[in-house]
A and B are shown apart, each in its own frame.
Chain A
């Protein structure tokens, strides 16, 4: 059974949601969890909910890294922080993967400090999933985008590695036999986007193990033209934040409209089932978390505002990645490329 370390203290919502998520996992699955954090606070939450103690171990630590803390400073000074203790537990083989909703920068730095890069990997990538249009029943409603912010600027060789890592992850987790890989760019033409992207396009096209579909423009992200989108960290981060922003604004506009006119309220009521489906599609709690790829060890990063359901789903994704030997799949893909 996979053992998943969970940062109980990370995230905007404190230990309550992470612990409740783990408690739910302990009842529903055979996954064993290593809850890392303040033992007394964790136990206090556990006693309020149904749980199975046989599948929960607690690793006590005194410190935590806040969402607004400077990641470099926090990693340097708080050796006993739950995030670092958990990452070390995975690095030492006490757990198979780590899940955290904590400070993203600190998560990436903690992995860089204690995890081992896969052979040949230059930089790790923070992946993220986003909803997209599906073309056939059963198709994964989520596409994978990487990098989402771990590496601000990249070289062509690094972007090629991101493509290989993303493709391997999608093969294992989304069960797509030959994931379509696209390069996020400002136009479909090969030479668009400057030297780095043009060179990346040229290299990706020459890789027979990749199902490369060429450049993908911003408006094609949600149309489902590719299962894996490759881009530099800054571009990926901007694209994902744009999704979130648009989604939040639309919700607020709908709410404001409902308050202004009775007819609009009735209309929204009539559309409520459809709106719920759209909300479900963009609900991050459904997919739980996204991986940091490129290490021999696995790390799943949850949204900072993750509630119990999101944490539970992130733990399940981590367990699935362990069972499906995602790092080995990535290593094989990279080995084949080399």
Chain B
């Protein structure tokens, strides 16, 4: 046996990770479907606000996992809520112990002052501009994770942004899309200028959409495999872990919070995991590697050893092997935005209410 140690090549440093989060319905369980709820939301303190179960643990896990890998990470929030509720939001994040590096709110007063009320509810232009500005200051090669929900335009906004960053949506293709969406015409030139500056390198790794409204999954097919609709933050954590962005201990923390504080049961978590497998969002091997420690800790039901169960597993495996493999890299080609807008913002709707959210 050689006494010489094999020299391992130095591991290349991981690129920085930038995580951008929407607030309402993604981080917070905000209710503002009626004027009364809107008024109540505006008056809430940080202690009154309630987060979506498990979200704080996912954010903390992203930070911890990145630290363990010595990977630079930044966490930003972009909210279309007015800055007047900023204090309550910051208090809430502090109460939850969520580490973040920045938070941006939408200045609604400028629209009110100019009497442009229809732009109060148009968030695509605002969010796109803020995402692009955030990208400007990031290091080359930065990888991004985007987190939103299925209430407004997050799938569309985030997909546009991802394609701009990847250089697949040059300004001449972007401009008519923004016009069709009904983005504030005064904001369009700024968005196009920013898009020209940042475009050119693949940056967005995944887009996670919290299915707060339980929107049917088929709705998101047009957005490609980069976008991951998730029913709860355990599912989000599993996909992040399968992508190597969280560790088993981080997933366990999310699972424990859901079990202890949100009425989940090990069986409900197990069903959530099985749902991801059926949707080919994680491989069988990755799911097993992640779930085994959770079963040992009692966070998932223990694997039963009933006679014949092994056969069922083999059958399941064979069935999955026949199906398409889990995409190694969920990057997609340019999306068909005409089809997306036909589906989500039909021309009649856009003309009648150009500023309305999808």
Q: What is A's interface to B at a CB cutoff of 8 Å? A: 1, 27, 32, 39-40, 43, 46-58, 60, 92
CB–CB B315/A50 < 8 A: no
Per-position contact with A for B233-261: 1 when CB-CB < 8 Å, else 0?
00100000000000000000000000000
Q: Known: A55-B268, A56-B271. Is A50-B278 also a contact (CB below 8 A)?
A: no
Q: Known: A32-B267, A43-B278, A48-B218. Is A54-B315 also a contact (CB below 8 A)?
A: no
Q: What is B's interface to A at a CB cutoff of 8 Å? A: 213-218, 231-232, 235, 264-265, 267-272, 274-275, 278-279, 306, 315-316, 319, 323
A57 surroundings in chain B (CB, below 8 A): 267, 270-271, 274
CB–CB B216/A54 < 8 A: no
A32 surroundings in chain B (CB, below 8 A): 267-268, 271
CB–CB A58/B319 < 8 A: no
Q: Known: A43-B279, A60-B315, A92-B306. Is A54-B214 also a contact (CB below 8 A)?
A: no
CB–CB B218/A54 < 8 A: no
Secondary structure of the B side of the interface? helix
Within the complex, the shortest CB–CB distance from B269 to chain A, in Å, comes to 8
Q: Top 3 closest A-B pairs, CB basis?
A: A53-B275, A54-B268, A50-B214
CB–CB B214/A51 < 8 A: yes
A43 surroundings in chain B (CB, below 8 A): 278-279
CB–CB B319/A39 < 8 A: yes
CB–CB A53/B316 < 8 A: no
Residue of B nearest to A80 (CB): B315
Residue of B nearest to A62 (CB): B315
B316 surroundings in chain A (CB, below 8 A): 60
Within the complex, the shortest CB–CB distance from B38 to chain A, in Å, comes to 25
Sample (6) of A-B pairs whose CB atoms are under 8 Å apart: A27-B214, A39-B278, A50-B216, A53-B271, A56-B275, A58-B278
B279 surroundings in chain A (CB, below 8 A): 43, 47
Among A39, A52, A53, A57, residue most surrounded by chain B Cβ atoms (within 10 Å): A53
B269 surroundings in chain A (CB, below 8 A): 54
User: Which of A40, A47, A55, A92 is the one whose CB lies under 8 Å from B217?
Assistant: A47
In Å, the complex CA distance between A30 and B316 comes to: 27
Q: Known: A27-B214, A47-B216. Is A54-B232 also a contact (CB below 8 A)?
A: yes
In Å, the complex CA distance between A32 and B235 comes to: 18
CB–CB A52/B319 < 8 A: no
Within the complex, the shortest CB–CB distance from A81 to chain B, in Å, comes to 15
CB–CB A54/B272 < 8 A: yes
CB–CB A48/B216 < 8 A: yes
B264 surroundings in chain A (CB, below 8 A): 54
Within the complex, the shortest CB–CB distance from B273 to chain A, in Å, comes to 9
In Å, the complex CA distance between A92 and B312 comes to: 15
Within the complex, the shortest CB–CB distance from A319 to chain B, in Å, comes to 15
Residue of B nearest to A34 (CB): B271
A27 surroundings in chain B (CB, below 8 A): 214
Residue of A nearest to B270 (CB): A57
In Å, the complex CA distance between A56 and B268 comes to: 8
CB–CB B216/A55 < 8 A: no
In Å, the complex CA distance between A56 and B231 comes to: 12
In Å, the complex CA distance between A143 and B306 comes to: 41
CB–CB B271/A47 < 8 A: no
